[in-house]
Structure 1
């Protein structure tokens, strides 16, 4: 099987059909420190396309340059993918390569009510991302992981005491405790304790990191010390949140995170800027039938990006635009979805010309 080609090899063999600068520089929202993101469309040599070396996408190591095979690109266009539509509608001064055959794809013919919904749904994803970051910033978790013992409680009359606190107060080592399951209950155990270091008890947790408490064989006549409750649901929720939090800490863009902390609003302002941009684009498509990538209200969107507005204020603005979009959808003179048959016909004609 032929190895995947690199971006440089695609260019050396003149296989790139379309290439443009995308992202903040295309939107007109770039700053001095903004990266240059590039997307493109390519086709494969005939033998590789018809053979077993097909590759639908190729990117560089930093993933800021991504190219799509022609068929994959058309497939995404047929699904009203926002990124692919924006690539096709790139401002003229952002287009680096444009093969004459790409003129077959006209952005105005591809816009539809499905496009509007795709952009709107993508905007709502950005709101959820911003909200998720808001939660992580304002509710930071300790990086030292808790274990199941932190979610165990000792019954004390009408209330409970954290098990670790109960053990410390009595100078009891959890490894010298024995548990016996109480029938017909969920998460309830009878707790026994042996002063002997050579105790036959397995401990509440058999070893650090155990995901379940351990039950021991309790000799007859042993004195019951307490009743223990294990909150498995809370532990499961904690494990999920902890895993997501650690992953976020390890992968977060520190420059962007520092910017978020600096503006003090407690949300990812860049996500919210894209939310507002996408919703404005959706509304414009309904009103004008055009997709304008370069944004006319740069100053407002950069204010959003700088954290000038409160999170609640932006969410309310987003909801207001969504209501407008819902109203306009009923009367907009747009096709319901792209003409997939026409797109496929264009794809076949372009491939035929390329391989003739």
Structure 2
């Protein structure tokens, strides 16, 4: 079963809903229309060698889960799956009568503390990293390892490039020797120090080198300089550089521009959904309901529109999280859904569906 095949054989659909911002009542004129749904694979595929867990279109804004995969995720109290099951009627495009067998109350459990609130925690952590990226900048060209090397002059250090320039020396004419018990510190020698020809490899193998290199150096010669290479600092910088430009390449440009215009140093849409998840987690503990259609639209859109500072949002989120464990401890939710009931439910749904097709 592929996405295209499912669209041509829609009798295998069990549920189809508008999802995302439209389902949450958080849509704007520019919002996309996303779809999610559930299907049941053809019986012959069920008995065959290959089975399909889910299908999606090329842009991944239309996603459909096979009934087994759906129930597996539902049993884990996956937020996206619980939201799909509880999409309001106005956003349900189609529901097979068999969907009446799947009841939210049979699946809600204390797992939601981790799946909803825990996911929100991870999003806050991610937001901190995103905050860092928004407020940092890297040149298009990565720094070389040479920029992390310094030599000792008198009682201070100067950049290696400065020392080479001042002494009219090329790095290719130099050789390094390790110094015992001094990590990443080297004795630096230059060919001009020797009366006999010496073969030095140079400090670096080339412009794209990621490390220094050692050379064979004659004994009993005083080094021209002592050099340190901050390899740890270079490693951290390279990771940050790569992470930053990956973020630039993958970021949603419209959202980035929106945040830039707001003057917000965080992804405001990202933080809006973090608070949506936290509030939904509270509601599950208090009312044992998954409220997809948000009545707190005004507050959530204020977050999206940059009405709060980044620090204010973190403080409000921390307060919600502090109260969350007490809410779940006081609720009468089970620790987790009953896996035997889930298995029996899947069997009933398949037996009924395939029986109707005979």
The interval holding the TM-score normalised by the smaller chain is over 0.9
**Aligned equivalent of 2:263:** 264
**Aligned equivalent of 1:118:** 115
Q: What is the deviation of 1:77?
A: 0.8
Q: What is the deviation of 1:264?
A: 0.8
Superposed CA RMSD in Å reads 1.7
**Aligned equivalent of 1:273:** 272
**Aligned equivalent of 1:212:** 211
Q: Are the counterparts in 2 of residues 77 and 85 from structure 1 also a CA contact under 8 Å?
A: yes
1:224 has 2:223 as partner: yes
Q: What is the deviation of 1:61?
A: 0.9
TM-score normalised to the size of structure 1?
A: 0.94
Residues 1-356 of structure 1 correspond to what in structure 2 (within 5 A)? 5-13=1-9, 14-195=11-192, 200-220=199-219, 222-356=221-355
Aligned mates of 2:251, 2:228 — CA distance in 1: 37
Q: Are the counterparts in 1 of residues 113 and 325 from structure 2 also a CA contact under 8 Å?
A: no
Structure 1 spans left out of the alignment, 5+ residues: none
* Secondary structure of the corresponding residue to residue 66 of structure 1: strand
TM-score normalised to the size of structure 2?
A: 0.93
Q: Are the counterparts in 2 of residues 154 and 161 from structure 1 also a CA contact under 8 Å?
A: yes
Aligned mates of 1:195, 1:121 — CA distance in 2: 63
Aligned mates of 2:288, 2:237 — CA distance in 1: 47
Aligned mates of 1:161, 1:55 — CA distance in 2: 62
Residues 97-142 of structure 1: CA distance to partner in whole angstroms, max 9, x if unpaired? 2111121111122111111321001111221222212101111122
Aligned residues: 351
Q: What is the deviation of 1:26?
A: 0.4
* Secondary structure of the corresponding residue to residue 113 of structure 1: coil
Aligned mates of 1:93, 1:78 — CA distance in 2: 25
Aligned mates of 1:315, 1:236 — CA distance in 2: 30
Q: What is the deviation of 1:267?
A: 0.6
* Secondary structure of the corresponding residue to residue 210 of structure 1: coil
* Secondary structure of the corresponding residue to residue 44 of structure 1: coil
Aligned mates of 1:244, 1:290 — CA distance in 2: 39
Q: Are the counterparts in 1 of residues 264 and 309 from structure 2 also a CA contact under 8 Å?
A: yes
Aligned mates of 1:350, 1:225 — CA distance in 2: 81
Aligned mates of 2:340, 2:166 — CA distance in 1: 75
Q: Are the counterparts in 2 of residues 113 and 336 from structure 1 also a CA contact under 8 Å?
A: yes
